[in-house]
Amino acid sequence: MAVPKAGLEPLVDLGVFLEPFGELVRRSESRETMERYATGLLADLGRKTAAGMGRALPGTNAQRLQEFLTNTEWDWREMNRLRIAHMLEHASVAGDGVLVVDDTGFAKKGRHSVGVARQYSGTLGRVDNCQVLVTAHYVDRVFDWPVTGRLYLPKSWTSEPERRTRAHVPPEVGFQTKGRIGLSLVDEGRAAGIESRAVVADPGYGDQASFLNGLEKRDLPYVVGVSRDTHFRLAEEVEADPGDGPPPPYSGRGRPRKPSKLEDRVETYEAVEILDALPEEAWQRVAWREGTKGPLVKMCARVRVFRTAARGKHLDTEAWLLGERPLPGHRGDRKYYLVHGLDGRGLADFLELAHVRWVVERFYQDAKGELGLDDYEGRLWHGFHRHVALVMLAHSFLTLRQTYAPHASSRAPPDGGETAVASPPSPARGFPPEG
């Protein structure tokens, strides 16, 4: 089917998709502007700013599009909830999905855009002036789509009330770590009906004890990257520990001796030490999915460990420490993962889940390169999140495009002078089934 073009009238398939979201606004003019904004994000334009889309799209202008972001009354959180419900109905394998928590950075100049600061961004690979968006993304064996996102507000913003006021940051929004924001996004997804059998994240989240504690408190299994110097206790040493036994009778002199704690008796080791100490036969060749050039294969090993807290305090969380290294004669980095709550699954399943993160990296590339995720030029908290919600709406439309494709043939493509619409992203496939 030829990809239709965006003209004055809305694309039929896009109009069908947007119909339930019209409930978010009261006026028909606002519904029309929502359609124009979504069309602009899908259009083959350079920068997807309100000004750029207003110049290129018939039937609207920059002022209307900017007004829709900043002054029109509508709730971006409710847009996300409606979209999640729609995607669960049309683009999910029930009970098979995982949630990927990650973040991406947007380079910014100046200091007035909400959340901007000199901070580290993995996207930029350095400390720079930027904004950071934390997102949750749904992935199953067939589909993947964004769940929701939240701007990370650096600590420097909490001590500047005038700056917060100018950017319309809500009073209840204070400093939260990216891990805490990630947990809240997971909660939002689950409250909207997403059944997640695991949470996946990179070491930026796997190294945050509070993030892992929060997942365990929610009884959510996880597969997270960890740094090579993260400390663990070997499960076999913990289980072999005889305990300190009762203290001797108090003689009346000095302080009574207290039983020693397990953390004083059982050694901790860095992840790299644990995996390097394994015999060579513990490492196996594992293929987890087909790539463009054939099976993706790594050498893998796993060891049962216990997590440690600050100052080496012992935690009762038992998990698998998973190691990954290149095949002999191949180049590549060694990687380390912690897998909790997924006992009974094999190495291939562990590795497949660990590498599901590539899907969200592709989403960031598509959303920035095709849908203008990083093109918002406003400075306001709600304007930023509305733009993100609309980008996620446009991405979800592309994900579902084959569902709506039959409607598109009901009218001929409009005359020339319009703008081509982006093609749908490829769904994620090869995800390991349950069982």
Please check whether residue 299 is in contact with residue 324, taking contact to mean a CB–CB distance below 8 angstroms: yes
pLDDT digits (tens, 9 = 90+) for 117-131: 999 887 778 888 999
pLDDT of res. 106 = 92
Position with higher pLDDT, 51 vs 426: 51
Please check whether residue 38 is in contact with residue 45, taking contact to mean a CB–CB distance below 8 angstroms: no
pLDDT of res. 247 = 60
Mean pLDDT computed over 211-239:
96
pLDDT of res. 73 = 95
* pLDDT band, very low/low/confident/very high, at 1 (cuts 50, 70, 90): very low
pLDDT of res. 432 = 44
pLDDT of res. 244 = 67
Residue 435 Cα to chain centre, angstroms: 25
pLDDT of res. 294 = 78
Mean pLDDT computed over 162-166:
93
Look up tokens 């420490």; give the residue.
321
Q: What is the DSSP string of 312-355?
A: G-EEEEEEEEEEEEPPTT-----EEEEEES-TT--HHHHHHHHT
- H-helix or E-strand containing 80? helix 76-90
pLDDT at position 282 over 60: yes
* pLDDT band, very low/low/confident/very high, at 407 (cuts 50, 70, 90): very low
CA distance 29 to 328: 63
pLDDT of res. 419 = 43
Q: Which of 39-53, 97-111, 215-229, 243-257 has the highest mean pLDDT?
A: 215-229
pLDDT of res. 139 = 95
- The CA distances from residue 60 to 14, 229, 383, in Å, are 17, 55, 18
Please check whether residue 398 is in contact with residue 422, taking contact to mean a CB–CB distance below 8 angstroms: yes
pLDDT at position 2 over 70: no
Mean pLDDT computed over 76-101:
93
Mean pLDDT computed over 278-297:
87
* pLDDT band, very low/low/confident/very high, at 254 (cuts 50, 70, 90): low
pLDDT at position 228 over 90: yes
3-state secondary structure (DSSP) of residue 307: strand
Mean pLDDT computed over 27-54:
91
* pLDDT band, very low/low/confident/very high, at 178 (cuts 50, 70, 90): very high
CA distance 83 to 38: 14
pLDDT of res. 434 = 35
Determine what percent of the chain is predicted with pLDDT higher than 70. 86
pLDDT at position 317 over 60: yes
* pLDDT band, very low/low/confident/very high, at 94 (cuts 50, 70, 90): confident
Q: Which of 171, 146, 144 is nearest to 157 (CA)?
A: 171
* pLDDT band, very low/low/confident/very high, at 251 (cuts 50, 70, 90): low
